């Protein structure tokens, strides 16, 4: 049997085993074509069915209203940091951002290339350990932008902000895409690099309310207009076929498991198990995020010293628990428990953390 570890990396991240097996099974001969999906035309009827199915499943599972479009783009969420303001800017209107950590910072930096950016709320005062409350966007903003989950700090929006009507809400959901049920209507533009919670690296999903595609300045390069990709159903140029195919398999798998409500239930259970270990450790493990802003996906914590953390990461690795080191910018430890991390994997982690404390306190 192939040896598989429990992978707690923040991204690219663990994928469901049945999805990997299906891809392996189909790799050399995709649906009787005698070719791999890596080799067939993005205009073939076989690929087209995959492409359409991926968007349909996403619409169905997330309950995406009919006036929204699903796009499959390249360039990662990092490209969306500039593509969103480039397409949604409006002369004389500020773009309003909530500054919650490293990813928001990068988004803000790019938006500044296109006009005035206002940071209307920030959690910098407490090292980005919480999501600001009672955030208020102004009625004349071109749009408001939030980072749904800060992957590095491990903080996540629990309640979405309310915006004045007519002000679109843009959200970077890279690391909490489909982690819980959301009302898509509250957002005008959602983007997410697939490699955290949806599929492999190489594709970025964008969900956009259709009326917004016409705001874009004429002199914008064709590939950087949402309008281009909406009109061509993400097939203006060669799309990342294999990545989209894997997303489609993940979505099918998710549907079979009971969709997002089932996933949310499991995610809440998993996160609670790990946070409980932290909370009941008498300070041996110190949670980084304020409890009311804790992420369901990225659980950040510290031990007394960097040496003890290194030892913990090392011993975990020996037990097949991989990727528990915190982001290099902040140090500490981080367990990413995305949708594809099983209950069993999370239980194994909890058991390890309990034993490690017993042996090292
Ligand atoms: C990983 C991540 C990104 C960057 O995604 P790329 O696809 O690598 O560009 C952006 N935002 C958040 C919240 C992330 O977790």
156 Rama class: left (phi>0) / alpha (psi -120 to 50) / beta: beta
Residue 28 CA to ligand 1 center (angstroms) comes to 31
Tens-digit pLDDT profile for residues 4-58? 999 999 999 999 999 999 999 999 999 999 999 999 999 999 999 999 999 999 9
User: Quick one: pLDDT band at residue 313, thresholds 50, 70, 90?
Assistant: very high
Q: Please check whether residue 96 lies inside any domain of the structure.
A: yes
User: Relative to the CA of 103, which ligand 1 atom is closest?
Assistant: 11
Closest C-alpha to ligand 1, atom 2 = 174
Residue at which a domain ends, from 256, 288, 322: 256
Examine the domain organization and report whether 152 and 299 are in the same domain.
Answer: no
User: Quick one: pLDDT band at residue 354, thresholds 50, 70, 90?
Assistant: very high
Examine the domain organization and report whether 208 and 239 are in the same domain.
Answer: yes
Q: Please check whether residue 30 lies inside any domain of the structure.
A: yes
Mutate to test the pocket of ligand 1, among 82, 149, 173, 174 (most ligand atoms within 8 A of CB): 174
Ligand 1 surroundings by CB, under 6 angstroms: 11, 76-78, 103, 147, 151, 172, 174-175, 193, 196
Examine the domain organization and report whether 66 and 120 are in the same domain.
Answer: yes
Q: Please check whether residue 1 lies inside any domain of the structure.
A: no
Length of the chain measured in residues: 361
Mutate to test the pocket of ligand 1, among 12, 78, 149, 329 (most ligand atoms within 8 A of CB): 78
32: CATH: 3.40.640.10
Q: Where would I find the beta strands (DSSP E) of 91-142?
A: 95-99, 117-122
pLDDT attached to residue 143: 98
Closest C-alpha to ligand 1, atom 13 = 174
The residues with which 241 forms a beta bridge, in sequence order, are none
Q: Please check whether residue 151 lies inside any domain of the structure.
A: yes
Tens-digit pLDDT profile for residues 52-91? 999 999 999 999 999 999 999 999 999 999 999 999 999 9
Residue 349 CA to ligand 1 center (angstroms) comes to 25
CA–CA separation, 58 and 12 (whole Å): 20
User: Is 233 a residue whose pLDDT tops 80?
Assistant: yes
pLDDT attached to residue 127: 96
CA–CA separation, 48 and 234 (whole Å): 11
User: Is 316 a residue whose pLDDT tops 80?
Assistant: yes
For residue 276, the enclosing domain spans: 6-15+259-360
Summary mean pLDDT of the chain: 97
User: Is 1 a residue whose pLDDT tops 90?
Assistant: no
Mean pLDDT of 107-121: 98
Examine the domain organization and report whether 33 and 155 are in the same domain.
Answer: yes
CA–CA separation, 156 and 296 (whole Å): 7
Residue at which a domain ends, from 256, 281, 300: 256
* Nearest to 191, CA basis, from 175, 176, 212, 205: 205
Residue at which a domain ends, from 256, 287, 322: 256
Examine the domain organization and report whether 50 and 190 are in the same domain.
Answer: yes
Q: Please check whether residue 303 lies inside any domain of the structure.
A: yes
**How many structural domains compose the chain?**
2
196 is catalytic: yes
pLDDT attached to residue 2: 79
- Is the Cβ–Cβ distance between 335 and 274 less than 8 Å? yes
Examine the domain organization and report whether 230 and 341 are in the same domain.
Answer: no
320 Rama class: left (phi>0) / alpha (psi -120 to 50) / beta: left
């Amino acid at each position: 049997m192939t040896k598989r570890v429990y992978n707690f990396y923040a991204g690219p991240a663990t994928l469901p085993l049945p999805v990997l097996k299906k891809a392996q099974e189909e790799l050399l001969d995709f649906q009787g074509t005698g070719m791999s999906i890596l080799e067939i035309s993005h205009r073939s009827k076989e690929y087209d069915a995959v492409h359409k199915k991926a968007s349909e499943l996403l619409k169905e599972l997330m309950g995406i209203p009919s006036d929204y479009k699903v796009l499959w783009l390249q360039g990662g969420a990092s490209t969306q940091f500039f593509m969103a303001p480039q397409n949604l800017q409006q002369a004389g209107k500020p773009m309003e951002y909530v500054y919650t950590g490293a990813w928001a910072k990068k988004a803000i930096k790019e938006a500044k290339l296109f006009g005035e950016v206002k940071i209307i709320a920030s959690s910098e005062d407490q090292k980005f350990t919480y999501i600001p409350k009672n955030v208020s966007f102004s009625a004349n903003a071109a749009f408001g932008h939030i980072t749904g989950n800060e992957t590095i700090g491990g903080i996540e929006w629990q309640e979405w902000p309310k915006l004045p009507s007519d002000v679109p809400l843009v959200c970077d959901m890279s690391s909490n895409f489909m982690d819980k049920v959301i009302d898509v209507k509250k957002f005008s533009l959602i983007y997410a690099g697939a490699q955290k919670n949806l599929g492999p690296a190489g594709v970025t999903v964008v969900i956009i309310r259709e009326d917004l595609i016409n705001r874009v300045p004429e002199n914008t390069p064709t590939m950087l207009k949402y309008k281009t990709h909406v009109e061509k159903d993400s097939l203006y140029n060669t799309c990342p076929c294999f990545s989209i195919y894997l997303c489609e398999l993940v979505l099918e798998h998710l549907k079979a498991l009971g969709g997002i409500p089932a996933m949310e239930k499991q995610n809440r259970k998993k996160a609670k198990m790990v946070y409980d270990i932290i909370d009941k450790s008498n300070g041996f493990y110190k949670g980084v995020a304020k409890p009311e802003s804790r992420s369901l996906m990225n659980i950040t914590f510290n031990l007394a010293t960097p040496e003890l953390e290194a030892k913990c990461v090392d011993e975990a690795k020996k037990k097949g628990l991989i990727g528990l080191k915190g982001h290099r910018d902040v140090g500490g430890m981080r367990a990413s428990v995305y949708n594809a991390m099983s209950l069993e994997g999370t239980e194994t982690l909890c058991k390890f953390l309990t034993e490690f404390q017993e042996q090292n306190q």
